[in-house]
């Protein structure tokens, strides 16, 4: 049986035949835990997050749709992460365990955003891999445009020792400096202060390196990458984060936010992200 609870939230625990595991809450279809085969937890989840089905979950992999951050009139990062999704498929195969979640427009969502829509998220775990596929559908007659992201919180041992590789030469909007456009000229991004960047038309493979381990982030049909760490001062202002949490997390998010996606009547848009852990 898939039915389980994660601190009071309905959830789906996934365990691949090789022992790799993931947990996905139905609230937000949010991956809140991922432990690769023979490894430790690789996702950051704030111990202070409110798991009350009213507030966004701080950590894991929130689904951002149809708005990114505060670029619009909707709640921060849109609607999807605070909706109840239903499980529409689950399978334990020879190599992986997977589940599919779906959510559609309702009278409540139309009060905030007037469009008809559907979102599906497929989560698959096996070995050292976590694969996510997001599908957005427009069943209504009028077109709509949107932003989307898989807001991945990676758990790191020490942010001071982290190197994010693969962004050399990429352009980014610096959200800490009024969206000023900058070209990244560093061989690797190291974190020594607040970082909030939207890399536009970014490479689709990045590597997060730490002492003794690394993690690859592969994006498919997500043109952009968001990198975020609030650092000390901003972290202290977040009620749902411990003051020192910035030392143990880094968001590396596959995203479509630089240019909004337009979806015509009956259309669909599919994108994905794969995380691959190594020691």
Tell me the pLDDT tens digit for each residue of 116-129.
999 999 999 999 99
Instruction: Answer for the pair 251, 175: CB distance below 8 angstroms, yes or no.
Output: no
Q: What CATH number corresponds to the domain at position 77?
A: 2.70.98.10
The predicted model gives 151-173 an average pLDDT of 98
| Residue 105 is a catalytic residue | no
Distances (CA, A) of 163 to 60, 221, 252, 254: 20, 24, 12, 18
Residue pLDDT, tens place only, 199-251? 999 999 999 999 999 999 999 999 999 999 999 999 999 999 999 999 999 99
Number of domains the chain is built from: 1
Name the active-site residue from 77, 120, 137, 253. 253
pLDDT reading at 1 higher than 50: no
The predicted model gives 267-275 an average pLDDT of 98
State the residue range of the domain holding 37.
4-278
Name the active-site residue from 115, 151, 165, 194. 151
Question: How distant is the alpha carbon of residue 233 from its chain centre?
Answer: 23
* CB-count burial class (<10 Å; 0-12, 13-18, 19+) for 177: exposed
| Residue 151 is a catalytic residue | yes
């Amino acid at each position: 049986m898939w039915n389980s609870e994660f601190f009071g939230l309905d959830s789906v625990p996934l365990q691949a035949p090789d022992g790799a595991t993931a947990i996905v809450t139905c609230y937000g279809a949010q991956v809140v835990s991922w432990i690769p085969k023979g490894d430790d937890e690789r996702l950051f989840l704030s111990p202070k997050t409110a798991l009350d089905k009213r507030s966004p979950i701080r950590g894991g992999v929130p689904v951002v749709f149809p708005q990114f951050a505060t670029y619009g009139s909707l709640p921060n990062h849109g609607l999807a992460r605070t909706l109840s999704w239903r499980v529409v498929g689950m399978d334990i195969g020879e190599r992986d365990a997977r589940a599919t979640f779906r959510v559609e427009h309702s009278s409540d969502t139309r009060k905030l955003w007037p469009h008809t829509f559907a979102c599906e998220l497929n989560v698959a775990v096996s070995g050292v891999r976590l694969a996510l596929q997001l599908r957005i559908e427009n069943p209504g007659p009028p077109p709509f445009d949107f932003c989307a992201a898989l807001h991945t919180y990676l758990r790191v041992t020490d942010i001071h020792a982290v190197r994010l590789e693969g962004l050399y030469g990429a352009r980014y909007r610096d959200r800490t400096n009024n969206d000023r456009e900058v070209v990244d000229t560093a061989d690797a991004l190291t974190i020594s202060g607040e970082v909030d960047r939207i890399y536009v038309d970014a490479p689709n493979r990045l590597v997060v390196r730490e002492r003794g381990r690394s993690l690859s982030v592969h994006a498919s049909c997500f043109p952009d990458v968001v990198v975020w760490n609030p650092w000390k001062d901003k972290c202290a202002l977040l009620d749902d984060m411990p003051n020192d949490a910035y030392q143990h997390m880094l968001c590396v998010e596959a995203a479509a936010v630089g240019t909004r996606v337009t979806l015509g009547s009956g259309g669909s848009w599919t994108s994905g992200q794969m995380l691959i852990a190594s020691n």
